């Protein structure tokens, strides 16, 4: 007799990540993947990472291979104070918590906040893995729409008239999967609503540094601080998209009222993040190679995004529409007519191209005619060939 009935109810209902499942197809010979949000390995700073590794082995060997503080490597947190300042975020070492990527940051934050039944609000569409975490906490998920200017905050305001919510989760800059950026006006209104209705904003910022122009929106954290609110916004980011995801180093900027409790949850989870990779990132930041590395990534992704956009308009404009991304790693598209992109995936796989159907990014009212393309790992030649194959599959 199977023991599966011994699993917790919330685990029984848990579904695998559609994106992780699709990555299996992307490894098949001849398949061009526009699916996973994976940084281009060709852009990793091999020389800089090798230099930092050698520095750790020679200067920080003991600390790098020993147990560390739950809050994280002190030297790394000191460096992050400066990195955050460059993003308009004023913080201190004791407000920073190092995590195993931003994925763990989201898990720690949501578990620290959510009671079963608490209402968490997400965008429609939103980051798939956050929906998985919310499912595990048995929170109630409600969604509001988004458009070219990001989350439609007026819809959130209407929801607040009838519903008490615990938190809003949002990727406000070059969002995943939408690629959109929340406008300055909506950022201010969202922060005002958080103060008025006493909810928390979880600001997830993996892509904000990957801008294709010099325009910069203030983070929600900075927006709130300038309005005198130092308690409503929790900021999280990661080195996964700007340095290397295999390092698994992210961080949270915590308000004072959350600081100790989230650290305790971290203790119970894994004691502390990987000591070696924390030391490596701290050593890398000392080389001052990060800013040039980000500039390299920005330009490379910009050219790939422009190429994919051009090919889609040339070959599929009568079928597909999209907003032009201004940064990040994703292009969010939709068919101009009723269409099921999940079913269509079987045909595109036969042609040797894979993407992520949009319906997986919705907590409710899924739009089946949507899909997400990632342009980060493919070459321009592969992007052109992928679009040709998509056209052929129609």
Q: Are residues 152 and 240 in the same domain?
A: yes
Q: Are residues 343 and 207 in the same domain?
A: no
In this structure, the number of other CB atoms found within 10 A of the CB of residue 155 comes to 16
Q: Residue 106 corresponds to which tokens in the numbers above? A: 């989201």
Give pairs for 40-45: CB < 8 Å, separation 24+. 40/297, 40/300, 40/301, 40/376, 40/377, 41/377, 43/293, 43/296, 43/297, 43/300, 44/243, 44/244, 45/243, 45/284, 45/289, 45/293
Give pairs for 80-84: CB < 8 Å, separation 24+. 80/251, 83/285, 83/290, 84/235, 84/253
User: Are 341 and 322 a contacting pair, CB within 8 Å?
Assistant: no
As a whole number of angstroms, the distance between CA 176 and CA 178 comes to 5
Q: Are residues 107 and 203 in the same domain?
A: yes
pLDDT at 209: 97
pLDDT at 37: 86
Which among 97, 393, 131 has a CA at the least distance from the CA of 238? 97
Q: Are residues 247 and 155 in the same domain?
A: yes
User: Are 102 and 248 a contacting pair, CB within 8 Å?
Assistant: no
User: Are 240 and 250 a contacting pair, CB within 8 Å?
Assistant: yes
Q: Are residues 33 and 93 in the same domain?
A: no
Q: Are residues 20 and 106 in the same domain?
A: no
pTM here is 0.94
Q: Are residues 139 and 159 in the same domain?
A: yes
Q: Are residues 265 and 326 in the same domain?
A: no
How many residues are recorded in the chain?
A: 394
List all residues 6 or more positions away from 329 whose beta carbon is below 8 Å from its beta carbon: 37, 39, 174, 176, 207, 210, 241, 301, 374, 375, 376
The label of the residue with tokens 């924390």 reads 278
As a whole number of angstroms, the distance between CA 321 and CA 316 comes to 9
Range of the domain at 273: 46-286
Domain boundary among 240, 261, 286: 286
Where residue 314 sits, what CATH number does that domain have?
3.90.1150.10
List all residues 6 or more positions away from 31 whose beta carbon is below 8 Å from its beta carbon: 25, 349, 352, 353, 354
As a whole number of angstroms, the distance between CA 354 and CA 371 comes to 11
Q: Are residues 23 and 41 in the same domain?
A: yes
Question: Which residues in 175-209 are b (16+ Cβ under 10 Å) and which e?
Answer: bbbbbbbbbeebbbbbbbbbeebebbbbbbbbbbb
Domain boundary among 286, 317, 348: 286
Where residue 55 sits, what CATH number does that domain have?
3.40.640.10
Q: Are residues 38 and 58 in the same domain?
A: no
Q: Are residues 40 and 52 in the same domain?
A: no
Q: Are residues 240 and 372 in the same domain?
A: no
Domain boundary among 259, 286, 313: 286
pLDDT at 312: 98
What's the structural domain count of the chain? 2
Averages of pLDDT over each 10 residues, the chain, 394 residues: 71 65 68 92 97 97 96 98 97 98 97 97 96 94 97 98 98 97 98 98 98 93 97 98 98 97 97 98 98 98 98 98 96 98 94 95 95 96 98 96
């Amino acid at each position: 007799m199977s023991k599966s009935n011994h699993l917790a109810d919330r685990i029984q209902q848990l579904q695998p990540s559609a994106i992780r499942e699709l990555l299996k197809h992307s490894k098949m010979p001849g398949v061009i993947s526009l699916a996973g949000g994976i940084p281009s390995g060709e852009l990793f700073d091999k020389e800089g990472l090798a230099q930092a590794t050698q520095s750790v082995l020679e200067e920080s060997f003991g600390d790098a291979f020993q147990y560390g503080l739950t809050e994280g490597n002190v030297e790394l947190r000191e460096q992050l104070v400066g990195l955050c300042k460059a993003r308009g975020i004023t913080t201190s070492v004791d407000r920073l918590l190092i995590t195993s990527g931003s994925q763990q940051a989201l898990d720690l934050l949501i578990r620290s906040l959510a009671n079963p039944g608490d209402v968490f609000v997400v965008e429609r569409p939103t980051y798939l893995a956050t929906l998985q975490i919310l499912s595990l906490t048995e929170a109630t998920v409600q969604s509001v729409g988004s458009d070219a200017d990001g989350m439609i905050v007026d819809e959130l305001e209407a929801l607040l008239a009838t519903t008490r919510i615990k938190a809003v989760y949002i990727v406000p800059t070059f969002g995943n999967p939408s690629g959109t950026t929340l406008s300055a006006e909506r950022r201010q209104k969202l922060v005002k609503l958080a103060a008025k209705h006493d909810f928390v904003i979880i600001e997830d910022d993996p892509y904000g540094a990957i801008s294709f122009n010099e325009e910069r929106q203030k983070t929600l954290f900075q927006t709130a601080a300038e309005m005198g609110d130092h308690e409503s916004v929790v900021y999280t980011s990661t080195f996964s998209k700007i340095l290397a995801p295999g390092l698994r180093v992210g961080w949270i900027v915590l308000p004072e009222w959350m600081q100790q409790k989230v650290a305790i949850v971290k203790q119970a989870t894994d004691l502390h993040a990987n000591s070696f990779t924390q030391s490596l990132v701290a050593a890398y930041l000392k080389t001052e190679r990060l800013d040039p590395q980000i500039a390299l990534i920005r330009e490379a992704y910009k050219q790939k995004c422009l190429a994919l956009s051009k090919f889609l308009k040339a070959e599929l404009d009568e079928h597909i529409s999209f907003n032009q991304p201004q940064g990040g790693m994703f292009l969010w598209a939709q068919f101009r007519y009723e269409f099921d992109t999940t079913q269509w995936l079987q045909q595109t796989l036969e042609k040797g191209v894979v993407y992520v159907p949009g319906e997986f990014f919705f907590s409710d009212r899924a739009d089946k005619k949507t899909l997400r393309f990632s342009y980060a790992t493919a070459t321009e030649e592969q992007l052109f060939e992928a679009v040709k194959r998509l056209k052929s599959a129609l």
